[in-house]
Structure 1
Amino acid sequence: MAEPSTASQSTDDEEFLTPTEVIRRMTVAWQNELAAPCLMPTEMDLVDILLDQIKGMEENIARQQEKVQLKISLHRMELQRISYMTSDYVRARLLKIEANPRRVLAEHERRVAEGLSALLDDNELEFTKNFVNAEAQLLGKTVLEKSRFLREDLEIECVYVKVVEEDVGEIVLQDNLDPNSEHVIALNKDEIHLIPFVPIRHLVEQGKLQLL
């Protein structure tokens, strides 16, 4: 069964993405989102592309003949896998937003002001703002001010990462036992490290490291 072609708008120019590449990128985004201790930059454009693919695949399946029943079953399994991945990705992001919408909103606005990749897409941004307003009305300003201890302390979060690109270089980490000492870790391709999240977050966002 032929898959529909897709295209996605990159930051610089229009980039053609094959269905296979879209699924690969969505898989990486999904795994990173599940493993990251905080909300990662949005990849909802990939979700939109995959939803179109799913619709096209469903239409193709409906046109198949009984003589290719095994092929239809295999395509249905793939369709279910893609549907689960996209739904779970969206669900994971919503849970993180709901856990601390004010922090997410502030982080999104900071990233946009600094010219970094957006934390939220337009729909997520609207949802977050509505959630913040609803929370404020329900709990009141005083309660919210006293609940700042709920903010994530990302400085102490460690994650497993795999180096997926060549020439990533080295990263310098402070020694927790001796503030005056540092550790230098070489990030060689295919290596796996347990490492603090904050110093390598930008490398994950650049696609050089993948969270496990």
Structure 2
Amino acid sequence: MADHDDDIIEGSDEEGEEMTAAEVLQKLEEAWRTELVSPNLEPHHGDLVDCMLDQLKQMTKNLEKCKKHDFRVAVHKMEIDRIRFMICSYLRTRLRKIEQYTHYLLEREEKITDESMATISPEELRYAKEYAASLESHFQTLVLQHVPDKIQAFDATKMGVKPNLDAYVFLKVKQDSSGVLVEDESGEGRDEEVDLEEGNQHLIRYKPISHLLQNGNVALI
């Protein structure tokens, strides 16, 4: 039976370099944990999901070739179930955030000129637009048609719910990052710069470290 630790998946990372299935799984697990605890919708990792789904198909085929009483079958079945659960949880979490922040995300995506900077995938973007249209149609039928014409205008920007970027998150520093600006919450101008050392863990507001998260310098825990 093939062990996914040794399988090579070509062109699965951002640089197009070869990665083992185990490395893809590790990156996907980190993306999953990040999405679960982040107050914001993080950049999508559809390439990792697709690679892992292909790997699951191969693992399933390998199981069919094994003898029924092979003890490895039960172990690999549990691993397959674990990976499937992680992928489903990752995608469900993203859909929940897309539904919660629909108009905010659509407004933000419209301002992006470089596709590589997009947070949501083309499929997620299509879903967000369809969801927003359904909300508007439902609101029009349920409320607006029953109120005076003067107040029937539908302003999607005013309905948008924004993520709380000032929420606190736990993080682990993966790479030294100096001069991280932490703004004074009291508004008295007592901002300070902090140095994050590799291996340290911190409780800090999301906004000042969001760029470090996307660069891979820190990981949410």
* TM-score computed with the length of structure 1 as normaliser: 0.88
SS at match of 2:17: strand
* Partner residue, 1:91: 92
In structure 2, what residue type is equivalent to 1:56?
Q
Separation of aligned partners in 2, 1:149 and 1:185: 36
Q: CA deviation at 1:149?
A: 6.4
**Distance change >3 Å, CA 114–CA 199, structure 1 → 2:** farther
* Partner residue, 1:6: 9
Aligned-residue sequence identity (percent) comes to 27
**Distance change >3 Å, CA 83–CA 10, structure 1 → 2:** closer
* Partner residue, 1:45: 47
Q: Deviations over 1:74-93 (max 9, x none)?
A: 11111111101000000000
Q: CA deviation at 1:14?
A: 2.4
**Distance change >3 Å, CA 57–CA 9, structure 1 → 2:** closer
* Partner residue, 2:200: 191
| 2:20 aligned to which of 18, 21, 45 | 18
Unaligned runs of 5+ in 1: none
Q: CA deviation at 1:181?
A: 1.3
Unaligned runs of 5+ in 2: 145-151
Separation of aligned partners in 2, 1:40 and 1:163: 18
* Partner residue, 1:172: 181
**Distance change >3 Å, CA 53–CA 88, structure 1 → 2:** same
Separation of aligned partners in 2, 1:132 and 1:146: 9
**Distance change >3 Å, CA 196–CA 74, structure 1 → 2:** same
- Is the 1:157–1:196 Cα contact (8 Å) retained in structure 2? yes
In structure 2, what residue type is equivalent to 1:97?
I
Larger-gyration structure (1/2): 2
In structure 2, what residue type is equivalent to 1:38?
N
SS at match of 1:199: helix
Q: Does 1:29 align with 2:31?
A: yes
Q: Does 1:148 align with 2:151?
A: no
What CA RMSD, in Å, does the superposition of the two structures yield over aligned residues? 2.2
**Distance change >3 Å, CA 153–CA 38, structure 1 → 2:** closer
Q: CA deviation at 1:18?
A: 1.0
Select the structure that is richer in helix: 1
In structure 2, what residue type is equivalent to 1:87?
C
* Partner residue, 2:149: none
- Is the 2:32–2:90 Cα contact (8 Å) retained in structure 1? yes
For residues 70-81 of structure 1, the aligned pairs below 5 Å read: 70-81=71-82
In structure 2, what residue type is equivalent to 1:84?
F
